[in-house]
Amino acid sequence: MNIFVVNSGSSSIKYQLFKMPNDNPICTGLVERIGLENSIITHKVYINSEEKVIKRVLDLVDHEAGLNEVAHLLMEPEIGVIQDPAEINAVGHRVVHGGESFASTTIITKEVKEEIKKLFSLAPLHNPANYLGIEVAEKIFTKAKQVAVFDTAFHQTMPEKAFRYAIPQNLYTEMGIRAYGFHGTSHKYVAQQTLQYLNNKNAKIITIHLGNGCSMAAVDSGKCIDTSMGFGPLSGLVMGTRSGDLDPSVIFHMVNQLGYSLDQVSTLLNKHSGMHGLTGFSDMRDILKSIAEGDKNAKMAYDLYAYRIKKYIGAYAAVLNGLDAIVFTAGVGENDSNIRQLICADMDFLGIKINEEKNNIRSKGIREINTDDARVKVLVVPTNEELEIAEQCFELLTEKATAAV
């Protein structure tokens, strides 16, 4: 089954093509600067296990032009992997917000599209772009099933006491204001990988997704019971440019006493805070370089970043009533051995002890970095959101095909 995975952003499209159930992509790519001059397409195709990279600079006026170019690349004589768009059996779309309407992967119908549009206000930067990707894919891959995989779906198993806010009832019942959580596709993927690695489907684990955006999830027997991001992706951990948890009084003070507009506050907390606000850098590599050069402010920010994660580990160990493993994933989680060391330091009481030598070894697959006598496994599990989307699409369509027989 040929499954084309599309992650459509406001000015970009990430994509991968899988021939399921094979979990190695046939091709991958990124379209950047859509709507601007000198748009860039970076297309990678795997022929006889060798990677071939094609890079093109051209003007792409919109997402339809971008995805049309990608379709041509998929069919080009020398590097093509299909001969006709009709060979694509399904297009799996990453959709950031599914609200309470979608708790699982869903075949896209007219009604589903209308529901996604209703959720625009909950994810104004993401859902409109995701929706646009669906509209464009429907025009190009006319024979394919269009499937939505929601970032929020994995967190829909949270109990009400975890996702509700202590605000007037009608704000939840009428306006849908509650914690939804994000990065769900990544958390689900690494959680399932961890359960298989531990050979324990009932394991209690904490997944820690550290990229430019950061979030954590408490997972019991494969089901999310709590997560650090809330109504939007601003709460919880310190991130690259987002503040994470903040006393709401700070917002009132900035507006009422310091003269900020609400738009200015939103921009500041989402784009100019987090590690960028504390250090001037959002990339951990730059921050580590500053620390090495003796920048005490960068060191303080790094400590703060780790401290927030450590607090959440303690909280989630409590709500799980036990802990079998903690899992680091995503760009920073997979590659920054220093932050893993700092987070896991002085956590002997919880049974978390890290082996420094193992922690500093780099490898592509799942690796265990705890000491041999540690009660809790500490794992680095590379995430693969595109593969998770493809697998969910494959599972859904295979089930439906079986049921139809």
Which pair of structure tokens corresponds to residue 116? 């996604």
Q: What does R_g of the chain's alpha carbons equal in angstroms?
A: 22
Report helix, strand and coil shares of the chain as percent, to nearest 5. 40, 20, 35
| Cis, bond preceding 124 (omega within 30 deg of 0) | no
| CA–centroid distance for 79 within its chain | 30
Quick one: which of 379, 369, 352 has its CA closest to 195? 379
Which pair of structure tokens corresponds to residue 214? 């950061």
**Which burial class, exposed, middle or buried, applies to 33 when counting CB atoms under 10 A from its CB (0-12, 13-18, 19+)?**
middle
Amino acid letter, residue 16:
Q
Q: List, in order, residues 6 or more apart from 214 with CB less than 8 Å away.
A: 228, 236, 237, 238, 239, 240, 244, 309, 330, 332
Residue with the two structure tokens 């600079």 = 57
Backbone conformation region of residue 330, classed left if phi is above 0, alpha if psi is from -120 to 50, else beta: left
Active centre residues (catalytic): 151
Amino acid letter, residue 339:
I
Residue positions forming the annotated binding site for Mg(2+) = 7, 385
Q: What is the pLDDT of residue 404?
A: 62
Residue positions forming the annotated binding site = 7, 14, 94, 209-213, 283-285, 331-335, 385
Q: Read out DSSP for 170-216?
A: HHHHTT--S---S-HHHHHHHHHHHHHHHT-TT-EEEEEEESSSEEE
Residue positions forming the annotated binding site for ATP = 14, 209-213, 283-285, 331-335
**Spatial separation of the C-alpha atoms in residues 17 and 85, rounded to whole Å:** 12
Q: What is the pLDDT of residue 49?
A: 74
**Spatial separation of the C-alpha atoms in residues 287 and 238, rounded to whole Å:** 14
Q: What is the pLDDT of residue 78?
A: 84
Beta carbons of 127 and 97 less than 8 angstroms apart? yes
**Spatial separation of the C-alpha atoms in residues 267 and 262, rounded to whole Å:** 9
What is the pTM for the complete model shown?
0.91
Q: What is the mean pLDDT of each run of 10 residues along the chain (405 residues)?
A: 89 91 92 89 86 91 90 89 93 93 93 92 84 91 94 96 98 94 95 97 97 95 97 94 96 98 95 95 93 96 98 98 97 95 96 96 92 97 94 91 63
Domains within the chain, CATH numbers bracketed: 2-150 (3.30.420.40), 195-385 (3.30.420.40)
Report in angstroms the alpha-carbon separations of 29 from 10, 137, 288.
Answer: 16, 16, 30
**Which burial class, exposed, middle or buried, applies to 40 when counting CB atoms under 10 A from its CB (0-12, 13-18, 19+)?**
middle
Q: Read out DSSP for 111-138?
A: HHHHHHHHTGGGSTTTHHHHHHHHHHHH
Residue positions forming the annotated binding site for substrate = 94
Q: What is the pLDDT of residue 401?
A: 66
Backbone conformation region of residue 236, classed left if phi is above 0, alpha if psi is from -120 to 50, else beta: left
Q: What is the pLDDT of residue 35?
A: 86
Spell out a b/e string for 313-333, using b for 16 or more CB atoms within 10 Å of the CB, else e.
beebbeebeebbbbbbbbbbb
